[in-house]
Amino acid sequence: MPELPEVEVIRSKLEELVGGKKLLTMSVQTPKLRYAIDTIDLINHPQARLNAISRHAKYMVWHFDHESYLLHLGMSGRVRICEPSEPWEKHEHIQWHFENTALRLIDPRRFGCWVQKTAHWTHKLEQYGPDPLHNWNIETWFKKHQHNKRGIYKILMDQHCLSGIGNIYAQEALFESRIHPKRTLNTLSLTQLVELSHIIQSTLKKAITSGGTTLNDYRQLDGSEGYFQVTLKVYGKAGTPCPACQSTLLSEKISQRTVAYCMHCQGEEGSG
DNA sequence: AAACCTCCCTGGGGGC
DNA sequence: TGCCCCCAGGGAGGTT
């Protein structure tokens, strides 16, 4: 399930591969994923050049000459290199045929999307919080959210508060920081928050250099798995011993998400 | 306004 | 074997 690190790994590989290349054709096999798939206007703008690919939260932004498109991988999306004439396989939805290579989007659970970056989408993305690796000033951020009554887990998961964190990295970072998922910001000291922010940043960076986390569907462009999963400490591990203190890891539903944590290491909700 | 709930979709796993 | 149900996940959009 692609979160910030997985999207970043794919983005940089894609940019290396097709950045600066012309798009010859685009084929759509499935009319709609989360939203209707937008096709690039190659009739009025033939051979549109892909100038760059950037990332905004968990979205990739493909910057063509005349317009930009957003690619979101949802929870099971991935991109693979293919031969342009290969028959479509199950769960393949889009093919981009560039001058030097062809790419396909595979997304079994169809939570992803490919849409033109209209004013509507630009506005949506502007509402998002800072990127943990780029423009996250923890003091400003704390001042802005200190009266938020929700627990820290929900805040980290809310893209309007902070961009790019999903269920895996939220749980891992809170465990490393020894903070209970339901602690509110006003019970945490600035020192604790600074430490949390550093742990989030180092966890994300480590995951990027490891090629991302592979659970079920995530693969790098060449089909190889990321290998950050070997270092996961609590995600999906409820019922097994805590790697730090050996007490049994618990799990709880927060916002309809299963969150694993250690009662002993991460303490009580609201305790300091 | 902030916080919560619902829905989209499919594969995999457990129970019967 | 096969059927059914539940679960996983992000985020838009609706409701309280």
| Positions in chain C where some atom is under 7 Å from a protein CB | 7-12
| Positions in chain B where some atom is under 7 Å from a protein CB | 2-12
Contact residues for A101 (Cβ-Cβ < 8 A; gap 6+): A17, A18, A21, A81
pLDDT digits (tens, 9 = 90+) for A96-143: 999 999 999 998 888 899 999 998 888 888 889 999 999 899 999 998
Q: Is A116 exposed, middle or buried (0-12, 13-18, 19+ CB in 10 A)?
A: middle
Question: Please, what's the b/e burial string for A44-59 (b: 16 or more CB within 10 A of its CB; e: otherwise)?
Answer: eeeebbbeebebbbbb
What average pLDDT does range A59-80 have in this prediction?
91
What average pLDDT does range A76-95 have in this prediction?
91
Give the global pTM. 0.92
pLDDT digits (tens, 9 = 90+) for A145-201: 988 889 999 999 999 999 999 888 899 999 999 999 999 998 999 999 999 999 999
Which nucleotide's C1' atom has the smallest distance to the CA of A164?
C10
Say how far A46 CA is from C7 C1', in Å.
45
Cβ count within 10 A of residue A223: 9
Which nucleotide's C1' atom has the smallest distance to the CA of A145?
B2
What does each C-alpha distance from A114 to A49, A50, A159 come to in angstroms?
17, 15, 19
- How far is the C-alpha of A96 from the C-alpha of A108, rounded, in Å? 18
Beta-strand runs (E) in chain A:
23-28, 50-56, 59-64, 68-72, 78-82, 92-98, 102-106, 113-116, 250-254, 257-261
Say how far A148 CA is from C16 C1', in Å.
18
pLDDT band at A216 (very low <50, low <70, confident <90, very high): very low
Say how far A255 CA is from C16 C1', in Å.
16
Cβ count within 10 A of residue A216: 9
- Residues of A marked active site are found at 2-3, 58, 257
- How far is the C-alpha of A240 from the C-alpha of A232, rounded, in Å? 13
Say how far A184 CA is from B1 C1', in Å.
19
- How far is the C-alpha of A201 from the C-alpha of A9, rounded, in Å? 15
Which nucleotide's C1' atom has the smallest distance to the CA of A90?
B10
